Chain A
Amino acid sequence: MQTIRFTFSKTGAARYLSHLDLVRCMTRALRRTGLDVKYTEGFNPHPYITFALPLPLGQEGLAEKMDVIFIDGEGPQEAAAKLGAALPEGIRIVGAAPPVHPPARIRYASYDLTLDFACVQDAQLYRQTAVRLVEQGALAAQKTAKKGRAKVLKTIDLCEHLQRFEASVQGTSVRIGATLSAGIENNVNPFLLTGALERESAVRPETQLVVREVLLMEDLMPFS
């Protein structure tokens, strides 16, 4: 028995697959490979798959992590090749190795955001607002949190969760590089950040592309 941690990307059209869709795709792909995967017991057995951190619908991921338990058989590279051949467009296996860190060590994720505006002025205004607010160190956002069973809205200060922030204007686009809290404890969806900036700057991007580049640990080293 061995666990392999696959690193995969989910880009293009595949970003519109929900986490549940992704689980289903991976399950089917594993079944197609015929690899000797460990299954759960019970009435409706399915392979043991765990994802380090689900990616919200609509966002791209370049180095997402998925663990699969194999009973027997091929090494990580062979498994990666077979699995990669069984996936839909937009999901690619980019690496496979035994896991090094437990998923609980994930603290941050680094993002690359591209926001397109109707005109250069809007883009500049958005960027200026963003930079000013981050410098001032206060940027409130509302986040749903679980309180017992109920869902409640709570206000958080995004700056407390912002490890890195840079923003530049390229034509009518604003490009933002950001490292935000991530993981089981304090996951901050980058849409919270772009939503807060939209509110504060009062300009609305036409499109926004969110790319999660890499999952990081406390020491800002990549989770692997």
Chain B
Amino acid sequence: MLQQQLEPILPRVQKPARYTGGELNSVLKDKGAVDIRFAFCFPDTYEIGMSHLGMKILYSLINERPDSWCERVFAPWTDMEKEMRSRGVELYALESGDSLRGFDIIGFTLQYELSYTNVLNMLDLAGLPLRAAERNALAPLVIGGGPCVCNPEPLAEYFDMFLPGEGEEVVGELLDLYKKHKAAGSSKAVFLQAAAGIKGVYVPSLYEVVYNTGGTVRAVLPRPGSGAPEKVRKRLVRNLDRAFVPTSYVVPSVETVHDRVSVEVFRGCVRGCRFCQAGYIYRPVREKSPETVNAQCLAGCESTGYDEVSLCSLSTGDYTRIEPLAASLLEWTNAKRVNLSLPSLRVDSFSRELSEKLTPVRRSGLTFAPEAGTQRLRDIINKNITEQEILSAAAEAFAAGWVSVKLYFMLGLPGETPEDIEGIAALAQKIVDLYYANPSRPKGKSVTVSVSVATFVPKPFTAFQWEAQNTAAEIAEKQSYLKSLVKSRKIRLSFHNREMSALEAVFALGDRRLAAVIETAWKSGCRFDGWDDVFQPALWQAAFASCGLDPSFYANRRKGFEEFLPWEVLDYGVSRAFLERENARARRAETTPSCREKCAGCGANALNGGSCDAND
């Protein structure tokens, strides 16, 4: 039936293979033989979603259960949406082709604030009411996971529950409970109340948000009698060597963003960059053993046929056993003609020995993320890289024949002054000069220094969660100042869309009242807001205005430590006292040593029985 409906559509849309399914290793089951049908939704394109490791893990994990069938769903691109709407095709799951409406659980992974309109659009395309309160039946249940869940409040009205933290264990518990209640014919209310008893389950409808007169949140309180916990603590997997990792992955037939096997080497980060949400919310640090990583890389390559494997984590160079791991990988990767890429090597861990070990295979490119242009500002953000380290790593790279370097910076960081902006241009120029100072540089080749500049976005559960973001207008000024300072044609300067960053901050820091804004913007046509060619900032401005909400209240206002923050109903392990301490140190431009050197007492180790692999 669906096949017939799609027949006339597919030849008319871009990249039709996004919408057909049938990839190698995709899982087909008999729908009559399972109790739970789970639609795993990624609210962005197929190519992006299929590159996402977490989705692959949960897909396999759920499909391991004989009682459940997990299928994949991605956001249709705008052309496909038009065709689907005009022909009445409902959003369907790729494996069965069935409409989402008939599923038991619709699970969204929330990776990026600018995909929120896609979430609404997908629910609507499935023919479902958007608001949780309007979906009365037990099924389909709409749940959310992923990093944005550390402040799910802007989406709270649309979701039945959120799963803060790592999903591997809680999903199983949730499916067990759901199965029981489905068999018993429970109402949604009864089920949700029971689910709120599972550790790491946040049921937003069981909480009431109390506001102060100025519009700030006074508290998020469990409704009396609901039995919901006062704070929901994120879940985590204690032993990564025993954490579930699939032995086979769906292999997309079309090219995706990360077309390779990726294997996690550890979770958490030992660095403590003060702006970096990922660095805080995945704590404490838990490492996998090199044996496990090596075996998983090999199994991944064999089941997929990929010719590239990448080790992933927030900062792979900080993996304590990177050298023995690289050695054991290189034992088979060359023979199997598999490329090994280590994407997020930090400059100060780019050791010569490791780099030499990797010479037989392709390295993924030389990138540095100083984030700020001067040492003072780097100290404020606790990015512990010195200019000297960057320059000597670049010199080594040039000596080894590299001709391009990529640098990442941010504008609008707390404490930024004009000198910091000048520092960005100066550092880029120093690297250009360094290249020409190398007498053995390849003849006739010129150097390219790409400088990619984002806008600082304050995020929940970071030391900067209280900070104000610069307005888009302020950022515009800073951008043009930086542009005026860059003289060399060897420097390629690019800016991330500042209006997107502004919106990202609003939703990262927002509260439940923003639900109306998202819905209004979506109704007026906003989709794929993270895509430059689709993003429509004017429609967003109109949406804020018509809902009577001021985006700068959320993004451009500095909050005091006394203010309750909308996401403080959740507990991600890092204590507020620690974040306050870090914020105060930032104000004094005082660095905090990496967790390897000294535990900073973030508190997250309590989630792991007091242990943390960063400092044991």
* Segment 24-55 of A: residues with Cβ below 8 Å from B: 24-25, 27-32, 34, 39, 43-46
A13 to chain B, nearest CB (A): 4
19 A-B residue contacts at CB 8 Å? A12-B22, A14-B22, A16-B17, A17-B254, A21-B254, A21-B255, A27-B305, A28-B251, A28-B304, A31-B306, A32-B302, A32-B305, A34-B302, A39-B337, A44-B362, A58-B16, A86-B305, A88-B24, A207-B11
Judged by a CB distance under 8 angstroms, whether A87 is at the interface is: yes
- On chain A, the residues within 8 Å of B136 by CB distance are none
Question: Which chain A residues border B24 with CB–CB below 8 Å?
Answer: 25, 28-29, 86-88
Residues on B with beta carbons closer than 8 Å to the beta carbon of A219:
none
Q: Which of B253, B339, B362 contacts A17 (CB 8 A)?
A: B253
How many residues on the B side are at the interface (Cβ–Cβ under 8 A)? 27
**Neighbour of B7 across the interface among A43, A45, A88, A207, CB < 8 A:** A207
Residues of the A chain whose Cβ atoms lie less than 8 Å from the Cβ of B253: 14, 17, 21, 24-25, 88
How far apart are B45's CB and chain A's nearest CB, in angstroms?
15
Residue of B nearest to A191 (CB): B11
**Beyond known contacts A21-B253, A25-B253, A28-B304: 17 more, CB 8 A cutoff:** A13-B17, A13-B22, A16-B10, A17-B254, A20-B255, A24-B255, A25-B24, A29-B305, A32-B305, A58-B16, A88-B251, A88-B253, A89-B22, A90-B22, A207-B7, A207-B8, A207-B11
Is A185 an interface position by the 8 A CB rule?
A: no
Question: A36–B307 Cα gap in the complex (Å)?
Answer: 15
Across the interface, name the chain A residue whose C-beta is closest to B9.
Answer: A207
Report A1-23 residues with CB < 8 Å from chain B CB.
12-14, 16-18, 20-21
Per DSSP, chain B at the interface is loop
Q: Is B54 an interface residue (CB 8 A)?
A: no
Question: Does B303 touch A at the CB level, under 8 Å?
Answer: yes
* Distance, CA A30 to CA B24, complexed state (A): 13
Rounded to whole Å, the gap between the CB of B8 and the closest CB of chain A is 5
In the complex, what distance in Å separates the CA atom of A29 from the CA atom of B25?
A: 12
Instruction: Give the residues in chain B near A13, CB-CB below 8 Å.
Output: 17, 20-22
- Encode B222-256 as 1/0 by CB contact (under 8 A) with A: 00000000000000000000000000000101110
Inter-chain contact A45/B337, CB cutoff 8 Å: yes
List the B side residues contacting A43 at CB < 8 Å: 362
Closest to B301 in A: A31
Interface members, chain A 77-96 (any B CB < 8 Å): 86-90
**Please, how many angstroms separate the alpha-carbon atoms of A86 and B303 in the complex?**
9
Residues of A within 8 Å of B8, CB to CB, are: 206-207
Asked if A32 contacts B304 (CB within 8 A), the reply is yes
Tell whether B580 is near chain A: CB-to-CB under 8 Å. Answer: no
Of B255, B301, B305, B339, chain A has the most CB atoms within 10 Å of the CB of B305
Closest chain A CB from B75 CB (angstroms): 18
Q: Is the CB of B303 within 8 A of A32?
A: yes
Residues of B with C-beta under 8 A to A86 = 24, 305
Q: How far is the CB of A44 from chain B (nearest CB, A)?
A: 7
Identify which of A17, A87, A208 contacts B17 (C-beta below 8 A).
A17
Find B22's partner among A20, A21, A28, A88 (CB 8 Å cutoff): A88
Q: CB-CB < 8 A to B306: which residues of A?
A: 28, 31
Give B contacts to A, CB under 8 Å.
7-8, 10-11, 16-17, 20-24, 26, 251, 253-255, 301-307, 336-337, 339, 362
List chain A residues, Cβ under 8 A from B20: 13, 16
Nearest chain B CB to A195 CB, angstrom units = 13
A195 to B430, CA, bound (A): 58
The interface on chain A, measured as residues whose beta carbon lies within 8 A of the other chain's beta carbons, has a size of 31
Q: Which of B11, B26, B255 contacts A58 (CB 8 A)?
A: B11
Contact B362 A28, beta carbon cutoff 8 Å: no
Min distance, Cβ A82 to any Cβ of chain B, angstroms: 12
CB of B16 within 8 A of CB of A16, answer yes
B250 to chain A, nearest CB (A): 10
Enumerate chain A residues within 8 angstroms of B22, measured Cβ to Cβ.
12-14, 88-90
Inter-chain contacts of A87 with B (CB < 8 A) = 24
B21: chain A residues at CB < 8 Å are 13, 89
Residues of A within 8 A of B11 (CB): 58, 207-208
**Does B16 contact A44, Cβ atoms closer than 8 Å?**
no
In the complex, what residue of chain B is closest to A47 when comparing beta carbons? B337
What is the CB-to-nearest-CB distance from A127 to chain B, in angstroms, rounded to a whole number? Answer: 20
Q: Which residue of B lies closest to A209 (CB)?
A: B7
| C-alpha spacing A158/B79, complex, angstroms | 33
Out of A28, A39, A90, name the residue touching B305 (CB < 8 Å). Answer: A28
Q: Which of B23, B255, B301 contacts A88 (CB 8 A)?
A: B23
Which residues on the B side are within 8 Å of A28 (C-beta)?
24, 251, 304-307
- Shortest distance from the beta carbon of B140 to any chain A beta carbon, whole Å: 25
Quick one: which of A18, A90, A206 has the most chain B CB within 10 A?
Answer: A18
Most buried by B among A21, A27, A31, A58: A31
Which residues on the A side are within 8 Å of B26 (C-beta)? 89
Q: How far is A30 from B307 in the complex, measured between Cα atoms in Å?
A: 11
In the bound assembly, the distance between CA atoms of A87 and B305 in angstroms comes to 11
A132 to B607, CA, bound (A): 79
A contact residues around B254 at 8 Å (CB): 17-18, 21
Contacts of B251 in A (CB 8 A): 28, 88
> Which residues of the partner chain B approach A58 to less than 8 Å between Cβ atoms?
11, 16
In the bound complex, what is the Cα–Cα distance between A13 and B26 (angstroms)?
Answer: 14
- State the Cβ distance, A73 to closest chain B Cβ, in Å: 16
Report yes or no: A31 in contact with B307, Cβ–Cβ below 8 A. yes
List chain A residues, Cβ under 8 A from B7: 207
Residues of A within 8 A of B302 (CB): 32, 34
Identity of the chain B residue whose Cβ is nearest the Cβ of A37 in the assembled complex: B337
Interface string of A85-121 (1 = CB under 8 A from B): 0111110000000000000000000000000000000
**Docked complex Cα distance between A44 and B339 (Å):** 8
Q: How far is the CA of A206 from the CA of B87 in the complex (A)?
A: 13
Q: How far is the CB of B79 from chain A (nearest CB, A)?
A: 14
> Separation in Å of the B143 CB from the closest CB of chain A?
29
Residue of A nearest to B22 (CB): A89
**Cα distance A63–B23 when bound, in Å?**
21
